[in-house]
Structure 1
């Protein structure tokens, strides 16, 4: 609108005794994409597709859940973007309110009014769908859930198909000027927190990481990896030989090979059914020579009461002792990114090249891009029971933020280590 037209309207409004008012914007509809849902307790009889959303939903034993965080209380109107191959019924529930939703047959998605509720306080909320009745092969294909109302103001949810929870880290600092030749740490996973698709990493440094994973209901691993030099992100075949990490040796029954996909490098793992509730010990050793460093990982096997060498790698274009020391907790499974998991990390020590043991009693908290983008808000860490801890997922409020510093009471007793003789 130009200046002359606006002046004319203003004069007309004054002449008629009215004032001009800005039009309030129409209520904004928020859509929780179908590909961000989770099947609970497990993704069985339903598929959460990164491209198509909720599809192939044939089994009513698992609920399909959508999660969000409401920053403001208020009214909430919910719709369901769905279709089915034949008429069906699903039950939607949220905040103590539930309703049976009729899904019409059709090839195209329809936005179906579902229910209305009022959120009384800020916090995490779950919209849960359960299959009730189907005449065709599926309960419904779900493209998304629509939200309208005052409660959508500043609402937070994950808009991406990346359904892993945030990774969280403990960053340790050795005294300035210390050449870290040895790096020792312990992990204890509480019973029930050893969820599938979790990596509890004890001893990480500028070139690699060493810890333990839950890989399947019947397989767990001790994992040790060292990155190649260079910046190739995915394909190790593209890494020049002079930039590649090379295997120098490995323990009995250890698998060692190259890896790609999250950087490239040398990978090793030993299948070992570690147990929740037990404390496990990890030890890293660095020997720099010229422009290369040899990194060796040892794991203490409590059943045998001895240290086992996992592997030893030669890292080119390095030539340093260990720096940027850290531990982390990672959820590497998309399907169960809703499940809370927690690990205790403690009794970390370093031993200098001069033979001095130094206890690490402070750790700085950090997190990954998922947390920094605010795609997930459920993560944290701290110190309790004489150890640091990290947790992620569960859709419960964060209790730590980037840069927080945790402290634990010193134990004052350096680890006693008798390594195998070669």
Structure 2
């Protein structure tokens, strides 16, 4: 009996040791997943080498993770400098000044230990204080140890964009969407550079508006080629290429590649947050081709503007798989939140019937599916659907959720320009 008790005690001790070991397994936040605030200036976040060329102290370098378990957390920097420096490291209310030695190789530098009392998102912030050489530090990564590393989540990849999120609008069976209408409104402060707010997407293309730089915004419309070539349009056979039939005044049009290939068009237009913008798609199938035409309503002129018209080969049907999306296409600010409202979507069928689209299925991209990012969501509020991504706040929607908005009941009145 005593032997059994002794054996059980030893087994329990071994299991406890293994559990503690599993909970405290070290993890490393890669340097290439960091973000700089207020902007990536005088510091580079290299997809190969992590934090490099950190010469200015006007910004902070931040690493993000999600703690699913409470407990102790020990931080160790993997860093080096060219002539010795001091930086400040902050996490969970604790701050420590750390000396970075002059070394050709990365050195493991213990920083601090803190107690994570609540689950959720946390950031580790680095701030340059003093330097004798050119840089404050090159940072390969930040190692974390302790009980709080159990089930910890962070982005392990150099893909620093946030997750893309979508609204998929079901169309009644047997109805052909000849026209597709939608509206977008972006709240002030949510219009971050590197964001695409897409209103009217379909099985061959998409139509919406972008923030391309601090000084440039665009209305953008694209249609994919047939054939499935992923990158280079010059490899696409002529019979598989979409053909530009027309474009509006001051609209730029060309081919594109890199994420599939096709025909691209955009109009530089300084759209403003807080305003509601209207988008209209038209599809005309003839034989095995379909012509897709995009119109944007310019509120200052109170008229619809032609963006472009493309003829798509190997198609021959009306618009299908209708959807909207929100995309962050900038790596440098993939940690900043953005949100858009999507509403008043309608289709007009080939028989002239208007149908309001009041339901939407929520989906997301490979970044979300891989759980590289957990900060995204969507829903319905104030008569609109909405989508959001980034900001390191908890998701409020999951793949497959169904949203519904109240019906407005009045289809849009549209008078197109005559050609």
Aligned counterpart for 1:261 among listed residues 258, 261, 267: 258
Deviations 1:9-54 (CA, angstroms, capped at 9, x unpaired): xxxx969x76754473444110000000000111001000000000
* Superposition CA RMSD, Å: 1.4
Count of residue correspondences: 410
Aligned counterpart for 2:267 among listed residues 270, 295, 298: 270
1:80-229 matches, cutoff 5 A: 80-229=77-226
Alpha-carbon separation, structure 2, partners of 1:351 and 1:176: 14
Deviations 1:174-215 (CA, angstroms, capped at 9, x unpaired): 111001000000000001100000000000000000000000
Alpha-carbon separation, structure 2, partners of 1:229 and 1:157: 37
Aligned match of 1:383: 380
Matched, 1:406 2:407: no
Aligned match of 2:335: 338
TM-superposed CA distance for 1:230, in Å, is 1.3
Alpha-carbon separation, structure 1, partners of 2:52 and 2:3: 58
Alpha-carbon separation, structure 1, partners of 2:126 and 2:282: 51
Alpha-carbon separation, structure 2, partners of 1:328 and 1:353: 25
Alpha-carbon separation, structure 1, partners of 2:82 and 2:204: 52
4+ residue stretches of structure 1 with deviation over 2 A?
A: 17-27
Q: Secondary structure at the match of 1:321?
A: coil
TM-superposed CA distance for 1:87, in Å, is 1.1
Q: Secondary structure at the match of 1:295?
A: strand
Gaps spanning 5+ residues in structure 1: where?
Answer: 1-12
TM-superposed CA distance for 1:326, in Å, is 0.1
Alpha-carbon separation, structure 1, partners of 2:171 and 2:211: 30
Q: Secondary structure at the match of 1:31?
A: strand
Alpha-carbon separation, structure 2, partners of 1:47 and 1:103: 18
Alpha-carbon separation, structure 2, partners of 1:61 and 1:408: 45
TM-superposed CA distance for 1:414, in Å, is 0.4
Alpha-carbon separation, structure 1, partners of 2:227 and 2:360: 29
Q: Secondary structure at the match of 2:166?
A: strand
Gaps spanning 5+ residues in structure 2: where?
Answer: none
Matched, 1:248 2:245: yes
Aligned match of 1:289: 286
Aligned match of 1:62: 59
TM-superposed CA distance for 1:385, in Å, is 1.2
Deviations 1:26-84 (CA, angstroms, capped at 9, x unpaired): 44110000000000111001000000000000111110000000001110000000000
Alpha-carbon separation, structure 2, partners of 1:28 and 1:200: 41
Aligned match of 1:7: none
Alpha-carbon separation, structure 2, partners of 1:360 and 1:105: 62
TM, length-normalised to structure 1: 0.95
Q: Secondary structure at the match of 1:371?
A: helix
